[in-house]
Amino acid sequence: MSLLAVSNLSKRFGGLLAVDRMELRVEPGEIVGLIGPNGSGKSTTLSLIMGVARPDMGSIRFEEEEICGWPTHRIARRGIGLLFQHSHPLRRQSVLENIALALLPDSLCTMRLSAELERRARRLGERVGLGAVLAQRPDSLPFAHVRRMELAKAIAGDPRLLLLDEPFAGLTAAEARELSGVIRALRGEGRAVILVDHNVKGVRALVDRMVAIHVGRKIAEGSPDEVIADPQVREVFLGTGVLAESAQPTVPAPARGRAPLLEVKGLSVYYGKGRALDNVDLEVHEGEFVSVVGLNGAGKTTLFNALSGFLPYGGEIRWQGAPLNDAKPSAIARAGIIHCPETRELFGDMSVRENLDLAAYHTPASKAAERERWLLRLFPILARRERQAARTLSGGEQQMLAIARALMPHPKLLILDEPTLGLAPVVLEMLSEAMAALRRESGLTILLGEQNLTFALRHSQRLYLLENGRIAWHGEPGRFAEQAGARYL
């Protein structure tokens, strides 16, 4: 008997068949990897199983019982837990309280913790490695920790089937190894897992079986190696160069010797008494591709927020030779520094086109239209979703929109904070090529923040390694492994 048997499951959004007669089985104690391009229906499938979205047709049997159409809370009580792709923590509550809330029975009650509840919440928090930060608010945590908190919530109901939507997104290699350990331990307790992830190489060793989907339908199934070798999977999901280390897109090195475009000297940022950035020196020359790599919480996002004028800081930031201190975010953006934040910050109720149009506010209409056409050719899936509300886009589609929006106003310096998050390998390749083309054609300068080293090493001409708010190393990518690799990996 299968633990979960999904058959003929379908879901339509307007003219789009997001899940199309899906067939899926999960055996007890098994980890099934679910892979597919951005927008292929992975998150929708999980939502249907969890009762978050209502299927148009099909059957979902859990331990032989038909649960299709049940409300979510009943499905949760029956033994299924879901880690959502997007985190929406309660911002005024501590991590401990957020976890405790998931432990409450599904009736309305006040947020007062009994000793027993607190003990259980604490244990869950420790289990996912958050023991040291349970009293903090989610806003003060790096992204990866918020995801772990969501994992603690997903396992709070003691589920026999766990649905994990991109739990590894944004994690460093070491954090991912740790989380793999947690997931293996959950399997060891007899739980089954459906795992959605774009990094097939990374999860290959973790999953027992893999299922690939494309436009809502299953296209391949089998061992991870079989599925990765499948020609259709390679075409729609992996692209060509992913598993082989493909060469760096060639862009001539910029002319040095002139004053840097951006110059940061002795930059320090404090959050209350805690020092997030300590005496950071960094420069970016015109036409360069520079990366700031570092673990989650090292200070990358803080650095970018200071550059964009969102945070008070000590030290000096110079732009095209002139001091930028005290400039407002709007003035900084108009000066040509455009920041694509890790959190995307899209206007959820506005359509794809409206989000792009807003970003072109200061651009002449004819130029904006040309730019928009170019961007929609670059991300054809966005063209097909032009009138869709940003909030309803898939994770990867939202990321593409955030990047496209940042490119819209023709930045001189593009700051990209973790752009690889949630993108399928083929899209990453497209993005790589597009950035190389932009740099060749328009001399775009890029400052990238990444914990995904492979991507950063492949593209940058220079790298800075940020460690606990300090620059621990900087140099060329070719020397990174030898001089700084040990500190990072």
Ligand X SMILES: Nc1ncnc2c1ncn2[C@@H]1O[C@H](COP(=O)(O)OP(=O)(O)OP(=O)(O)O)[C@@H](O)[C@H]1O
List of residues contacting ligand X (CB under 6 A): 13, 16, 18, 36, 38-44, 85, 385, 388, 392-397, 422
| Binding partner of residue 342 among Mg ion, ligand X, none, CB cut-off 5 to 8 Å per kind | none
Q: Of the two residues 44 and 432, which places its CB atom closer to ligand X in the complex?
A: 44
CB 67 within 8 A of CB 9: no
| Binding partner of residue 36 among Mg ion, ligand X, none, CB cut-off 5 to 8 Å per kind | ligand X
| Binding partner of residue 39 among ligand X, Mg ion, none, CB cut-off 5 to 8 Å per kind | ligand X
Instruction: Give SS3 for 113.
Output: coil
Question: Does 469 interact with Mg ion (rule: CB under 5 A)?
Answer: no
Q: How many CB atoms lie within 10 A of CB 83?
A: 23
| Binding partner of residue 41 among ligand X, Mg ion, none, CB cut-off 5 to 8 Å per kind | ligand X
* End-to-end Cα separation, the chain, in angstroms: 42
Q: Residue 48 Cβ, how far from Mg ion at the closest point, in Å?
A: 13
DSSP state of 462: E
| Binding partner of residue 385 among ligand X, Mg ion, none, CB cut-off 5 to 8 Å per kind | ligand X
Q: Residue 37 Cβ, how far from ligand X at the closest point, in Å?
A: 7
Q: Of the two residues 44 and 461, which places its CB atom closer to Mg ion in the complex?
A: 44
| Binding partner of residue 40 among ligand X, Mg ion, none, CB cut-off 5 to 8 Å per kind | ligand X
CB 29 within 8 A of CB 61: no
Give ∠ CA 378-382-383 in degrees, rounded to 5.
Answer: 85
The residue number with the shortest CB distance to Mg ion is 43
Q: Of the two residues 393 and 406, which places its CB atom closer to ligand X in the complex?
A: 393
Q: Residue 213 Cβ, how far from ligand X at the closest point, in Å?
A: 7
Strand segments (E) across 95-203: 161-165, 192-196
The Cα 197–Cα 443 span in angstroms is 34
CB 311 within 8 A of CB 275: no
Q: Residue 273 Cβ, how far from ligand X at the closest point, in Å?
A: 39
Q: Of the two residues 27 and 386, which places its CB atom closer to ligand X in the complex?
A: 386
Site map (CB under 5 A) of Mg ion, residues 236-275, x = contact: ----------------------------------------
CB 99 within 8 A of CB 149: yes
Q: Residue 387 Cβ, how far from ligand X at the closest point, in Å?
A: 10
CB 351 within 8 A of CB 311: no
Residue appearing with tokens 């673990």: 295
Contact pick of 395, 409, 419, 469 for Mg ion (by CB under 5 A): 395
Q: Give the distance, in angstroms, between the CA of residue 343 and the centroid of all CA atoms in the same chain.
A: 9
Q: Residue 74 Cβ, how far from Mg ion at the closest point, in Å?
A: 24
| Neighbouring residues of 463: CB distance < 8 A, sequence distance ≥ 6 | 290, 291, 292, 293, 456, 457, 473, 474, 475, 476, 477, 480
DSSP state of 73: H
| Binding partner of residue 418 among Mg ion, ligand X, none, CB cut-off 5 to 8 Å per kind | none
Let me know if 165 is exposed, middle or buried by CB neighbors in 10 A (0-12, 13-18, 19+). buried
Amino acid at 194: I
Q: Of the two residues 12 and 440, which places its CB atom closer to Mg ion in the complex?
A: 12
Residues 33-92 that bind Mg ion (CB under 5 A): 43, 85
Q: Give the distance, in angstroms, between the CA of residue 182 and the centroid of all CA atoms in the same chain.
A: 20
| Binding partner of residue 392 among ligand X, Mg ion, none, CB cut-off 5 to 8 Å per kind | ligand X
Q: Residue 56 Cβ, how far from ligand X at the closest point, in Å?
A: 13
Closest of 317, 298, 284, 268 to residue 466, by C-alpha? 298
Q: Residue 22 Cβ, how far from ligand X at the closest point, in Å?
A: 11
Task: Return the sign of the alpha-carbon dihedral for residues 446, 449, 455, 456.
Answer: positive
Q: Of the two residues 290 and 421, which places its CB atom closer to ligand X in the complex?
A: 421
Q: Of the two residues 166 and 263, which places its CB atom closer to ligand X in the complex?
A: 166
The Cα 213–Cα 232 span in angstroms is 10
Q: Of the two residues 198 and 474, which places its CB atom closer to ligand X in the complex?
A: 198
Task: Return the sign of the alpha-carbon dihedral for residues 225, 227, 229, 235.
Answer: negative
Give ∠ CA 216-406-282 in degrees, rounded to 5.
Answer: 120
Select from 76-84, 374-382, 389-397, 472-480 the region that touches Mg ion (CB under 5 A).
389-397
Closest of 140, 121, 139 to residue 131, by C-alpha? 121
Q: Of the two residues 395 and 469, which places its CB atom closer to ligand X in the complex?
A: 395
| Binding partner of residue 13 among Mg ion, ligand X, none, CB cut-off 5 to 8 Å per kind | ligand X
Q: Of the two residues 44 and 302, which places its CB atom closer to ligand X in the complex?
A: 44
Q: Of the two residues 16 and 383, which places its CB atom closer to ligand X in the complex?
A: 16
Instruction: Give SS3 for 473.
Output: strand
Q: Residue 395 Cβ, how far from Mg ion at the closest point, in Å?
A: 4
Q: Of the two residues 86 and 328, which places its CB atom closer to ligand X in the complex?
A: 86
Q: Residue 10 Cβ, how far from ligand X at the closest point, in Å?
A: 12
Instruction: Give SS3 for 240.
Output: coil
| DSSP string computed for 190-206 | T-EEEEE-S-HHHHTTT
Q: Residue 363 Cβ, how far from ligand X at the closest point, in Å?
A: 26
Q: Residue 60 Cβ, how far from ligand X at the closest point, in Å?
A: 16
Count the site residues for Mg ion by CB under 5 A. Answer: 4
Binding site for Mg ion (CB under 5 A): 43, 85, 394-395
